[in-house]
Amino acid sequence: MFTAQLSGSLEATFLVLLGKAEQVLSRYNAVIVHATSQLFIKTTSLDTFCPIALVELLEVAEQLGVSEAFACVPKASMDCEELVEEILELDFSLVSPRGLGAEFVLLRFQF
Q: Give Cα separations from 103 to 31, 33, 37, 44, 74 (angstroms).
A: 18, 21, 24, 12, 6
SS3 category, 22: strand
User: Tell me, what's the pLDDT at 4?
Assistant: 47
Q: Is the pLDDT of residue 1 over 50?
A: no
pLDDT at 101: 64
Give yes or no for residue 78 having a pLDDT over 70: yes
Residue 77: what pLDDT?
87
pTM of the model: 0.78
- All structural domains of the chain, each given as residue ranges with its CATH number in brackets, are 2-110 (3.40.630.60)
What average pLDDT does range 49-76 have in this prediction?
89
pLDDT of the residue at 22: 60
